[in-house]
Amino acid sequence: MSDLLERLRARGWRMTSQRRVVAEVLDGDHVHLTADEVHARAVARLPEISRATVYNALGELVSLGEVIEVSTDGRAKRYDPNAHRPHQHLVCSRCGTIRDVHPAGDPLTDLPAEQRFGFTVSAVEVTYRGLCPGCA
Partner DNA sequence: TCTTGACTTGGACTCTGTCCATCGTAGGAT
Partner DNA sequence: ATCCTACGATGGACAGAGTCCAAGTCAAGA
CB distance 45 to 21 below 8 Å: yes
CB distance 42 to 55 below 8 Å: no
Which of Mn ion, DNA, a second copy, none does residue 25 bind to, with CB < 5 to 8 Å depending on kind? none
Looking at beta carbons only, is 15 or 64 nearer to Mn ion?
A: 64
From 12-20, 22-30, 41-49, 106-114, span contacting a second copy (CB under 8 A): 106-114
End-to-end CA distance of the chain: 33
Which of Zn ion, Mn ion, a second copy, none does residue 94 bind to, with CB < 5 to 8 Å depending on kind? Zn ion
| β-strand pairing of 33-34 with 78-80 | antiparallel
Which of Zn ion, Mn ion, a second copy, none does residue 112 bind to, with CB < 5 to 8 Å depending on kind? a second copy
Query: What DSSP character marks residue 115?
Result: G
CB distance 66 to 28 below 8 Å: no
**Given the rule CB under 5 A, which residues bind Zn ion?**
92, 94-95, 97, 132, 135
**Given the rule CB under 8 A, which residues bind a second copy?**
69, 71, 74, 77, 90, 92-93, 99, 101-105, 107-108, 110-112, 115-133, 136
